[in-house]
Amino acid sequence: MIVDLPDTTTSRISKELVKLREEGGAVALGRVLTLIIATAPGAEEEAIEAANDASREHPMRVIVVATEPGTEDAAVEPRLDAEIRVGGDAGASEVIVLRASGDAARDEESLITGLLLPDAPVVTWWPGIAPAVPGEAPLGRFAQRRITDASAQPDPQAALLTLQQNYTPGDADFAWTRLTLWRAQLAAVLDQPPYAPVTRVHVTGAIDSPSTTLLAAWLQMQLGAVTDYVLTPVDDGSPGIHGVVLERPTGPIELIRDVPGVATLRQPGQPVHDVALPRRSLRDCLADELRRLDPDELYGEVITNGLQQLGGAESEGADA
């Protein structure tokens, strides 16, 4: 069910939530957190769908703040339009969509304060363009976790450097979350004999894949081996990470993803294996990040020290 509240106020929205709870049985009991989604008008539906899917694992209240840059200008008529989604339109959550303009869009923090679940953690997610310093943004200051997506920025590789310079404990980025399957597979391979040291690491991926850079930084930190990574033009092959080669005295380990969703694993003295390595969906990444509300210390170490120690990328056919 969707309830439209045109030209409304936060107080009216709160009263409508209580009314829905009493009349329709929609309850806030059992909600484990408040998820704030900060996005632009017209781009909210994909994020809401991902949040609804993730809510089946993490029941929550979702507050979507959709404001167009520039609409907070004093010359624009102040207005707050809202809609409340419950039941089948909200998964295991309740969704509040706020579309503000004029003075109503100036103070985003005050806009949502009265709608937060009491005594529940707050997570803020920017699925699109993110602030340079998430920890100091109006919607990020009071959040325990702040989630961004470097791949959604105009220059994903430059976005990583911005994240490095402005990192605050509690920050997270989907470029790191998308590495979970790759990290697990590489760790499993190195956990098998022979236990020869890795002498050199080669990582390849698309230039618009910040995950490729983070994977190279993580491998260099964990293995202490010289690491180089190559970034290829987007139109030169598949997106995302292309592959990893770990050189050892006993022979190289190759994990190459030539086919979307499937990687080929080659190891000395063993049969060739096909490994499922699909690109993770927004729903999977969001659900993964919501499983922990404390700072991800490993991500913090990689985004700061790991990137700093990593050398520059090589490029094929384009400047990195």
Residue 239 belongs to domain with CATH number: 3.30.360.10
What is the distance between the alpha carbons of residues 143 and 121, in angstroms, rounded to a whole number?
7
What is the distance between the alpha carbons of residues 241 and 262, in angstroms, rounded to a whole number?
12
Looking at the fold, whether 130 and 184 belong to one and the same domain comes out as: no
Is the pLDDT confidence value at 8 over 90? yes
Return the pLDDT at 236. 63
Determine the average pLDDT of the residues in 75-88. 85
Is the pLDDT confidence value at 78 over 90? no
Give the residue from 133, 154, 174 where a domain finishes: 174
Tokens found for residue 220: 């260099």
Is the pLDDT confidence value at 75 over 70? no
Looking at the fold, whether 111 and 203 belong to one and the same domain comes out as: no
Give the residue from 174, 198, 221 where a domain finishes: 174
Looking at the fold, whether 30 and 169 belong to one and the same domain comes out as: yes
Give the residue from 117, 150, 174 where a domain finishes: 174
Is the pLDDT confidence value at 299 over 80? yes
What is the distance between the alpha carbons of residues 77 and 238, in angstroms, rounded to a whole number?
46
* Confidence label for 319 from pLDDT (cuts 50, 70 and 90): very low
For residue 193, how many C-alpha atoms fall within 13 Å in the half-sphere facing its CB?
Answer: 0
Looking at the fold, whether 132 and 267 belong to one and the same domain comes out as: no
Return the pLDDT at 30. 65
CA distances from residue 52 to 60, 184, 312 in whole angstroms, order as listed? 9, 27, 39
What is the distance between the alpha carbons of residues 125 and 100, in angstroms, rounded to a whole number?
18
Is the pLDDT confidence value at 120 over 80? yes
Looking at the fold, whether 168 and 220 belong to one and the same domain comes out as: no
Give the domain CATH number at 26. Answer: 3.40.50
Determine the average pLDDT of the residues in 27-54. 88
Looking at the fold, whether 94 and 138 belong to one and the same domain comes out as: yes
Domain that holds residue 230: 180-315
| Residue 29 within a domain | yes
Determine the average pLDDT of the residues in 271-289. 95
Looking at the fold, whether 139 and 221 belong to one and the same domain comes out as: no
Return the pLDDT at 71. 54
| Residue 58 within a domain | yes
For residue 88, how many C-alpha atoms fall within 13 Å in the half-sphere facing its CB?
Answer: 1
| Residue 320 within a domain | no
| Residue 272 within a domain | yes
Looking at the fold, whether 187 and 306 belong to one and the same domain comes out as: yes
List pLDDT tens digits, range 217-266: 999 999 999 999 999 998 766 789 999 999 999 999 999 998 889 999 99
In terms of Cα–Cα distance, which of 11, 16, 108 is closest to 63?
A: 108
Under 8 Å CB-to-CB from 171, ≥6 apart: which residues?
134, 135, 145, 146, 148, 163, 295, 299, 300, 303
What is the distance between the alpha carbons of residues 13 and 20, in angstroms, rounded to a whole number?
11
Looking at the fold, whether 170 and 190 belong to one and the same domain comes out as: no
| Residue 216 within a domain | yes
Tokens found for residue 251: 């022979």
Looking at the fold, whether 109 and 239 belong to one and the same domain comes out as: no
The angle that helices 180-190 and 210-223 make with each other, rounded to 10 degrees, is: 30
Looking at the fold, whether 129 and 108 belong to one and the same domain comes out as: yes
The rounded percent of the chain whose pLDDT value lies above 90 is 73
What is the distance between the alpha carbons of residues 32 and 117, in angstroms, rounded to a whole number?
9
Determine the average pLDDT of the residues in 90-115. 86
Return the pLDDT at 263. 96
Looking at the fold, whether 146 and 257 belong to one and the same domain comes out as: no
Number of domains in the chain: 2
Determine the average pLDDT of the residues in 24-29. 55
* Confidence label for 196 from pLDDT (cuts 50, 70 and 90): very high
